[in-house]
Amino acid sequence: MSKKHIPEIMAPAGDKQSYLAAVAAGADAVYLGLKHFSARMQAKNFSISELAQLASLGRDHGTKTYVAMNTLVKPKDPESAGRLIDRLQKTVKPYALIVQDLAMLTLAKQAGFQGELHLSTLANVSHPAGLALAKKLGASRVVVPRELNLDEVKLMAEACPKDLDLEIFVHGALCHCVSGRCYWSSYLGGKSGLRGRCVQPCRRLYTQQKQRPERLFSCNDLSLDVLTKPLLSMPKVAAWKIEGRKKGPHYVFYTVKAYQILRDNPQDPKAKKVAVDLLEQALGRPTSHSTFLPQRAFQPIPKDGETSSGRLVGEIKLDQRKRFFQPREPLHPGDLIRVGYEDQPGHCTFPIRRRVPKRGRMDIPLFKGQSGPPLPSGTKVFLVDRREPELSKLIKGLNSELDMFPAPEAKESHFTPTWPKAAPRKKTQRSESITLFRQPPKGRIFDRSAFWLEKATISKVPSNAVVRSQWWLPPVIWPDEDKKYRSLIKEAVKKGAREFVINAPWQAAYFEDRKSSTLVAGPFCNAANRLALGVLRDLGCSSAIISPELPYEDIYELAQNPPLQLAFIVKGLWPFGIARFQSEAVRFDQPIKSPMHEVAFVRQHGQNNWIYPGWELDLTKEYKKLERLGIKTFITIREPWPKDVPRPKRTSDFNWNLQLL
């Protein structure tokens, strides 16, 4: 195997210590975020001056620095995002930017960024046809979804054009929902996963059919470990990515070392055992291979729901009202302990100050302002980070080297975006209502119709209705569905279909040779700024349906001189998220209740499981405001209500009156 086909090991870093741990481990690349525009805003992240020093140190040790600017870009964000890219180029000179929003591709070009552009897994390039389009828009790498199995990775690699590479996650946390297709946290209170603010509602306890509360949507971590060997035969898979920007230096060091061993010694069983032992010491959640092996797929949601991060080291005991635990292994000064689960009232995290031997006694300190009642006897205790003397020494040595790379002077940026030309406003256009159906409805339809593009639906809709209707592609198309949707589009066009709604920008690739088709950018394209709308226009879209996730203040800004005509979803069941994983305990179309009495249900459509809230979106009272902004097309999503899920008394206005964080 030639040197150029050896994949790089990419380490996460949420703070300085983790970056230095990655360099100490010999990582080929480190990816990280800044204080703004990072999809892991809960991490400490970096200032530009601090990052400039670290990037210089990394270059000196042969470690590339990738900066993740992979959040949704709101209407007022492009100016500040462009200035940040400009300052990064002048000061840090990162090897690559990792982005999800189409606007970032445009801004990087306009700002003269000279590094590579990588499309984040949040961009949801999930099917082979989209890869050539990703390259056409300026990407040099695509991060594929974590849900892909080995055969699907092969399909993506075989379709990958020249000068475009793939990056695959090999280790770390798994989200329950597909990246870029989760609105759960946002729907429950404006903290958007697309903006890096997810509060992880999927990790909570849920109850279904009067069973005991379980973590029905909480996944084990992914660990491909020994299954990485087949990836070595795919030259297009250029990088193995380790998730964990909120993890500490211990995790970073051990996982990087383990995957280096697996990459460099694929035929050595002893080396594999050493690597697996290192991964077991990394202090992540329990792991699985997930669905990576198609012939031995494993749903990564355990029946017992034990998915907390860290290694279990004990349980709370009581002695004269004092709470303590006896660790199952020695604890050392600097080790970080968490008592209880992250969503458990009263849980706490604290450092170990002195050595505690195995089965010794460690009293649990009381903290000022600690929330919730005292945790009961039997509460689990986890080791979540370590500070081994050897690793601390390595980090200390690298830290002293930073003095050789003085922080650069702050450089201002006067960058101003070049905005796309505004679409002409059609003042005489009448308002139009469109109703989106799964199946052709019975009886007369007074609004214009739209249908999800499926074979059964095409065959049932009369030809005269096919011509007048919109045809919606799904929010996620998997690699083995590529041919299916090419064929469905061809069949629909043959029957007279003209207007198609794409729900990922990359789906425009299906229509490059269909000049008579009209394209609409669907709400799952997550377009939230004029630059992104401009790219969608260049891809052939004539209009765009705004995601209902946006609050009114952002919709107002977006409607000022947009390059496309805008439409809006005003009513219906908007999903919490779309998933490929499914717990064996979950029953379709049955009510699922959270500790906060929030109701949800799960319904399967094709290969995807749609998680719906138990109450509808309803913004019909805002028609007039939207019309005054020039929005003339209004969408209602019609989804059959499950008979076993109680009809709610409330509706949702999503984030209409909130500030999207």
Determine, yes or no, domain membership for 186: no
Q: What pLDDT is stored for residue 510 in this prediction?
A: 97
pLDDT score of 2: 43
Residue 207 lies in a domain: no
> Which of 100-109, 253-262, 440-449, 538-547 comes out lowest in average pLDDT?
440-449
* pLDDT beyond 90 at 514: no
Are residue 93 and residue 242 in the same domain, yes or no? Answer: yes
pLDDT of residue 387: 81
At residue 5, the pLDDT reads: 76
Q: Domain boundary at 289, 321, 347, which?
A: 289
Which residue range(s) make up the domain with 275? 3-172+220-289
The total of structural domains in the chain comes to 3
Higher pLDDT, 245 or 427: 245
Q: Is 168 contained in some domain? A: yes
The rounded distance, in Å, linking the Cα atoms of 650 and 661 is 24
Mean pLDDT computed over 89-103: 97
Rounded mean pLDDT, 365-387? 78
Angle between helices 389-401 and 249-264 (to 10 degrees): 90
pLDDT number for residue 536: 98
Express as a percent the part of the chain with pLDDT over 90: 80
In a domain, 475, yes or no: yes
Number of Cβ within a 10 Å radius of residue 290: 26
283/316 same-domain check: no
In a domain, 296, yes or no: no
Instruction: Of 262-266, 303-307, 456-460, 479-483, give the lowest mean pLDDT range.
Output: 303-307
For every residue of 485-508, DSSP letters joined together read HHHHHHHHHHTT--EEEESSGGGG
What percentage of the chain has pLDDT greater than the value 70? 96
Largest CA-CA distance found in the chain, in angstroms, rounded: 80
Q: Looking at the structure, do residues 99 and 151 belong to the same domain, yes or no?
A: yes
* 423, part of any domain: no
Least confident span in 81-85, 445-449, 585-589, 640-644: 445-449
For residue 103 the two structure tokens come to: 């606007």
> What integer pLDDT is reported at residue 342 of this predicted model?
79
pLDDT at residue 428 tops 70: no
Show the tokens assigned to 112.
Answer: 């003269």
Domain CATH for 500: 3.20.20.60
Q: What is the CATH number of the domain that holds 337?
A: 2.40.30
**Are residue 317 and residue 449 in the same domain, yes or no?**
no
Confidence of residue 307 (pLDDT cuts 50, 70, 90): low
Determine the pLDDT at residue 320.
78
Residues 276 and 379 in one domain: no
Domain check: are 91 and 30 in the same one? yes
- Same domain for 147 and 69: yes
* DSSP string for residues in 2-25: -GGGSPEEEEE-SSHHHHHHHHHH
Give the pLDDT confidence score for residue 93 in this predicted structure. 95
Q: Which of 42-51, 145-154, 577-586 has the lowest mean pLDDT?
A: 42-51
Q: What is the mean pLDDT of residues 431-452?
A: 88
What does the pLDDT look like over 324-336, one tens digit per residue? 999 999 999 989 9
d(CA 338, CA 654): 34
Q: pLDDT value at position 605?
A: 96
Whether the pLDDT of residue 368 is over 70: the answer is no
The structure tokens 């997550």 sit at: 526
Query: Mean of the pLDDT values across residues 528-544?
Result: 97
Q: Could you tell me the two tokens for 163?
A: 């000068």
- pLDDT score at 396: 96
User: pLDDT value at position 351?
Assistant: 92
Say whether both 264 and 321 belong to one domain.
Answer: no
pLDDT score of 370: 57
Has residue 626 been placed in a domain?
yes
Q: Are 324 and 317 in contact (CB under 8 A)?
A: yes
For residue 1, what pLDDT is reported?
38
Q: Flag whether pLDDT at 372 surpasses 60.
A: no
CATH of residue 161 = 3.20.20.70
Cβ atoms 520, 626 nearer than 8 A: no
28 and 135 in a common domain: yes
**Does residue 330 sit in the same domain as residue 239?**
no
Is residue 253 assigned to a domain?
yes
CA distance 353 to 367: 15
Domain co-membership, 332 together with 442:
no
Looking at the structure, do residues 266 and 318 belong to the same domain, yes or no? no
The region, left, alpha or beta by phi > 0 then psi within -120 to 50, assigned to residue 38 is beta
- Grade residue 322 by pLDDT with cuts at 50, 70 and 90: confident
* Segment 509-513 mean pLDDT: 93
Per-residue confidence (pLDDT) for residue 118, from 0 to 100: 98
Give the per-residue pLDDT at 152. 98
